[in-house]
């Protein structure tokens, strides 16, 4: 079965510190990977996708096929980054989401 794992349920960092949210996937083909975010009392929304190679709100994510990872990084965390983050994998005709990591940025 295709799986997406996010090993940390909760990640707490101080404002201004670097943050890395881990995502690993298992898929033998060419993956399409996404990061979705859910801020408090808001809907789940797309943060970024690997094919776009974009930086959104200071976040970047690089696909590492050798390590089957798609970690989300930001050099300087802000308090408004506090949210639930979900890594997602598209394959065939299915989307698989990871269990999510709650990021808490402390003042």
What is the binding site for other proteins (CB under 8 A)? Answer: 4, 6, 32, 43-46, 49, 51, 86, 88, 90, 93-100
The residue among 3 and 16 lying less far from other proteins, judged by its C-beta, is 3
As measured in angstroms, the least distance from the Cβ of 44 to other proteins is 4
H or E, element range at 9: none
Closest CA to 20 of 57, 60, 56, 73: 73
As measured in angstroms, the least distance from the Cβ of 1 to other proteins is 9
């Amino acid at each position: 079965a295709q799986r997406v794992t996010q090993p940390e349920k909760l990640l707490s960092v101080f404002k201004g510190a670097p943050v890395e949210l881990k995502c690993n996937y298992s898929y033998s083909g060419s993956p399409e990977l996404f990061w979705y975010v859910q801020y408090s009392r808001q809907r789940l929304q797309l943060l970024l996708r690997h094919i776009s190679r974009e930086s959104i709100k200071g976040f970047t994510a690089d696909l590492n096929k050798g390590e089957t990872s798609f970690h989300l990084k930001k050099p300087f965390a802000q308090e408004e980054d506090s949210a639930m983050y979900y890594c997602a994998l598209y394959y065939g005709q299915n989307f698989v989401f990871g269990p999510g990591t709650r990021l808490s940025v402390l003042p």
